[in-house]
Amino acid sequence: MSNPPKNDAMVVFSPSGKRGRFPLSTPVLNAAQKLGVDVDSVCGGRAICGRCQVEVSEGEFAKHEIVSKAESLSSRGEAEQRFASRRGLADNRRLSCQATLRADVVIDVPASSQVHHQVVRKNHEAHDIDINPVVHAYFVEVAQPDMHVPSGDLQRLLAALRTEWQLDNLRCEINVIQTLQACLRAGDWQVTVAIRNAEQIIAVWPGFRERLYGIAVDVGSTTIAAHLCDLTSGDVLASAGKMNPQIRFGEDLMSRVSYIMMNPGGEADLIRTVREAISELATDVSVQAQIESTDVVEMTVVGNPIMQHLVLGINPVELGTAPFALANDAAVDVLATDIGITINPGGHVYALPCIAGHVGADCAGVLLAESPYNRDEVSLIVDVGTNAEIIVGNRDRLLAASSPTGPAFEGAQISSGQRAAPGAIERVRIDRQTLEPKFKVIGCDLWSDDPLFAEHVSSSGITGICGSGIIEVVAEMYLAGIIDQNGKILGDAGSRSARIIEDGRTFAYVLHDGQPTIRISQNDVRAIQLAKAALYAGARLLMEQFGVDKVDRIRLAGAFGAHIDGK
């Protein structure tokens, strides 16, 4: 009797070694995402970016009991063939978003398709603030139990707080009650109590404890940053950041909404990954400051509306189409445990309010930090990022808008573009006479014309160009006369330098003649022009609505804005 046909297939990914069974016809990219294999996917699975390329490892793999061959995947379809004819695709390469499973297979994810470790540069900037934390610490001595005056440990703690600090009508979280008796006895009846809003006991520690800690989190589309703060002094004690792991479901916001729309229950994947990333950052900054993550009693979160929805466990699909309705535009105050964030069990997460549409809590955070509402002069504030926020106004009136600028800055529309990672070009200078470039790459402080440069970048190589580098090279090309005011690369500049080369019916500038060759094409310049135009158009529209032709003050913020060279 013959065996019944199999309706699923085993897929093994190398070099990670992750494996799993999936129904036949499952796209390789979907299987990778389910297993947590970081395959780059910029375009959201539409066979446009080509960054999700994989290879079938052919042969018999006894360890996995798999005979893997090219026929284990579906043949190239129309979308893959179109990509191959337009941009080229090696015979042994497949687009994982298009190739589907037909049989057991071993898939190799080449280095070029892996999501590299990103260099996150969202540093904090100090501002003068009034220290008024929502959580305060109180040291009390609690009466010991007495058989002649029977009462619970909690009741005697409440009595001590009432007598010593005039705090009454306090509520107590169940997690505190569960550990209270051990804390009281470990502290010899002297404990430090964390009270939130003068109404809720959220934590108790044995003995005297002076410091309380909170974390500020900025959840961006591309990067997530966390800053650990001393709630008593306001000092920033540690900072950390990481790439938003949701990137494997789509590079930009709409790609992620599209993923949810096309995959029922897909929002759970995005919710889980962003919450895990926040908890990992909480642990990271706690380790830096040599404290436990359970010492953190408060967290504040900001993000664009889609990120804010996902952190709070809300499906953001309504933000994918007009009228871009928010589930809630007010602030949300929730127990960290209720949304799977790992800090103190009694700690809260406070999510700032979104404003409207795609103008989110990150914009509210910028407003609080820059306080243009306290100024007479008109400010223009731009939070430059994948989804930029633009604010114009003063104490009389404030206007805000969002502008999607991310794909070009993140490399999705740049021929040699990539996210900020070791080996990416981040600074560029072009000699005005010879048109010879020099540049810096992430991970090396030397310019490329330094004799020791090659030695210092030998481990990372020169892999591409990141956001700040793209902005600088286009500006330098203009200043050097390589492009005109309209952004056209001038072919006659080729008489000045061999770095100006023909590129079809246009021209390109060779920034790095090596492996790989990094060049700036006419399409690259146009992509940057479009991204910058989106920012400019948003700013001009707000200025027109405000009734001004110029502003008195300009502030750039965000991962890109903070690293743009003002020159």
Asked if 421 contacts 116 with a C-beta cutoff of 8 angstroms, the reply is: yes
- Alpha-carbon distance 205 to 190, whole Å? 9
Bridge partners, 193 (sequence order): 138, 204
Cα–Cα distance between 195 and 258 in angstroms, integer? Answer: 43
DSSP type of residue 245: G
The predicted model scores a pTM of 0.74
Could you tell me which residues are beta bridge partners of residue 349? 299, 334
Are 100 and 72 within 8 A, CB to CB? no
Q: What is the CATH number of domain 213-364?
A: 3.30.420.480
**Do residues 387 and 404 touch, judged by C-beta distance below 8 A?**
yes
Listed residue (95, 115, 89, 111) closest to 45, CA to CA? 95
Site of tokens 């591409």: 464
A 10 A CB-CB count for 67 gives 15
Rounded CA-CA distance 140/218 in Å is 36
Per-residue tokens: 382: 């731009």
Helices (H), 19-90: 28-35, 78-87
> What's the distance, Cα to Cα, between the start and end of the chain in Å?
77
pLDDT at 1: 46
- Please state, in angstroms and as integers, the Cα–Cα distance from residue 340 to each residue in 273, 335, 389, 390, following that order: 11, 9, 28, 32
Q: Which helix (H) or strand (E) holds 379?
A: strand 379-383
Ranges in the chain annotated CATH 3.10.20.30: 8-113
Distance between CA atoms of residues 367 and 361, nearest Å:
10
Amino acid sitting at position 199 = E
The DSSP string of 150-185 is ---HHHHHHHHHHHHH---S-EE-HHHHHHHHHHHH
Distance between CA atoms of residues 451 and 71, nearest Å: 50
Q: Residues 231, 237, 238, 239: is their CA dihedral positive or negative?
A: positive
**Region of 234 on the Ramachandran plot (φ > 0 left; ψ -120 to 50 alpha; else beta):** left
pLDDT of residue 198: 93
Domain 135-206, CATH among 3.30.1370.10, 3.40.80.10, 3.10.20.880, 3.40.50.620: 3.10.20.880
Tens-of-pLDDT digits for all 567 residues of the chain?
A: 455 667 999 998 876 667 889 999 999 999 988 887 768 876 778 888 888 999 998 877 756 788 889 999 999 999 999 999 988 898 889 999 999 999 999 898 886 777 655 555 555 556 667 788 999 999 999 999 998 888 999 999 999 999 999 999 999 989 999 999 999 999 999 999 999 999 999 999 999 988 999 999 999 887 888 999 999 888 999 998 887 878 767 667 887 888 888 788 889 989 999 999 999 999 999 999 999 999 999 999 999 999 999 999 999 999 988 899 999 999 999 999 999 999 999 999 999 999 998 899 999 998 988 899 999 999 999 988 777 889 999 999 999 998 877 656 665 567 787 767 788 899 999 999 999 999 999 889 999 999 999 999 988 788 888 888 988 999 999 999 999 999 999 999 889 999 999 999 999 999 999 878 899 999 999 988 988 888 899 999 999 999 999 999 999 876 566 667 666
What tokens does 71 get?
């026929």
What is the rounded CA–CA span in Å between residue 144 and residue 188? 9
DSSP H or E stretch at residue 477: helix 467-479
Q: Which two tokens stand for residue 369?
A: 């930090």
In angstroms, what CA-CA distances link 442 with 118, 190, 292, 400, 461?
10, 51, 31, 33, 10
Between CA 141 and CA 164 the distance in angstroms is 9
Q: Is 366 helix (H, G, I), strand (E, B) or coil?
A: helix
CA distance 292 to 240: 15
Q: Which residues pair with 350 in a beta bridge?
A: 300, 333
Token representation of residue 227: 């800053």
Q: Cα separation of 245 and 251, whole Å? A: 10
8-113 has CATH 2.60.120.1310 classification:
no
Give SS3 for 440.
strand
User: What residues pair up with 81 in beta bridges, in sequence order?
Assistant: none
What is the token pair recorded at 42? 């910029």
CA distance 345 to 296: 9
Q: What pLDDT, on the 0 to 100 scale, is given for residue 119?
A: 55
Where does the chain hold its CATH 3.30.420.480 domain(s)?
A: 213-364
Which residue, 32, 41, 117, 43, is CA-closest to 463?
Answer: 117
Tokens (6 digits) for 529: 């022009």
Contact (Cβ atoms closer than 8 angstroms) between residue 264 and residue 255: no
CATH 3.10.20.880 in the chain: give the residue spans. 135-206
Q: Is the dihedral of CA 260, 265, 269, 272 positive or negative?
A: positive
| DSSP notation for 525-553 | HHHHHHHHHHHHHHHHHHHHHHT-SS-SE
**Using CB atoms within 10 A of its CB, is residue 524 exposed (0-12), middle (13-18) or buried (19+)?**
buried
